[in-house]
Amino acid sequence: MLTSEQKEFYETNGYLMVENVVTPDELAKLREITAALIEASRSVTESNEVYDLDRGHSAETPRLTRIKIPHKRDPYFWELLRNSGITEVLNDLLGPDTTILTSKLNTKAPGGGAAVEWHQDWMFYPHTNDDLLAFGLMLEDVDEDNGPLMVVPGTHRGPLLDHRANGVFAGAIDPDDPLFEKDKIVTLTGKAGSMTVHHSRLLHGSAPNVSDRPRFILFYECAKADAWPILGASSYFHALGQRKFWEDVQDRTITGKPCLTPRLKEVPVEMPLPPAPDNSSIFKTQESAGAKSAFNRMM
């Protein structure tokens, strides 16, 4: 699927935009399932294991920041990752043996849907090597106004920025950090069915949705099978016990087979500790830690 130019672009810049990665039928099915999941959120009054609610959510007007782990909510999200144009991009960038870390459907509601402060995903889950990436499949058109993803090219090869605030892991950088090169920001807009790819060390964020349209991006966070978690979100399985651990490893295999020999690479690592008061999602981590917002000022 990817040309050698696209692969080189990803290597150099740490991100990529791939157009028409899914077919119109696949896109239509994803939208239908998403609409049904949002419909079902009307009866939900507090964030739970499926939904992360945005301010102002009600039965009349559902407002979500996220549907959590969509591939566990409907098998179609998993099927698509394992057998579609997305799979080809995955294997082109990470090779034949791949595993999923997590998935999320970020659903920025119209008229202010929450910003995601600038961060490097790697800070949430350091691994033994950094062959980790996130796909962001646009389920609707994404433009400047509805909260597009923004990236700083090349930062995947740079230093880790400080993600602490008020003594805890805030999952966000300080917008005044001199290492934050705002003049290099690239905004990733595109048509529904396009997909962004970003390396886990790439600095990225996204503004609030100031349009009257929702912004639906389906994120899959994936790794080469020889990258093993040191700590953070995906290290939950260290607590599973050996048998469940093994089942989980197999369940998370997207393509190829698990790799029982972790590859160790000299990569910078910081532990995401101490945890924020509420670390149940990136939104809650950033908010409860009192991370400074870059977007209040940029807008």
Ligand X SMILES: O=C(O)CCC(=O)C(=O)O
Q: Per-residue contact track with ligand X, 135 to 154, x per CB under 6 A? A: --------------x-----
User: Smallest gap, in angstroms, from Cβ of residue 243 to ligand X?
Assistant: 31
Closest by CA to 50, choosing from 42, 58, 60, is 42
**Alpha carbon distance 44, 36 (integer Å):** 14
Q: Is 206 in the site for ligand X (CB under 6 A)?
A: yes
User: Smallest gap, in angstroms, from Cβ of residue 207 to ligand X?
Assistant: 9
Q: Is 204 in the site for ligand X (CB under 6 A)?
A: yes
Closest by CA to 67, choosing from 90, 43, 35, 45, is 35
**Residue among 217, 218, 254, 294 that touches ligand X (CB under 6 A):** 217
**Residue among 47, 98, 106, 196 that touches ligand X (CB under 6 A):** 106
Torsion of CA 252, 269, 173, 103, to 10 degrees: 0
Q: Where are the alpha helices (DSSP H) in 66-199?
A: 70-73, 75-82, 85-94
In the sheet that holds 116-119, the strands lie side by side as 116-119, 204-206, 149-151, 186-188
Q: Any idea which residue has 């509601």 for tokens?
A: 109
Q: Is 170 in the site for ligand X (CB under 6 A)?
A: no
Q: Per-residue contact track with ligand X, 107 to 126, x per CB under 6 A? A: ---------x----x-----
User: Smallest gap, in angstroms, from Cβ of residue 149 to ligand X?
Assistant: 5
Judged by beta carbon, residue 88 or residue 270, the one nearer ligand X is: 270
**Site residues (CB under 6 A) for ligand X?**
104, 106, 116, 121, 149, 204, 206, 217, 282
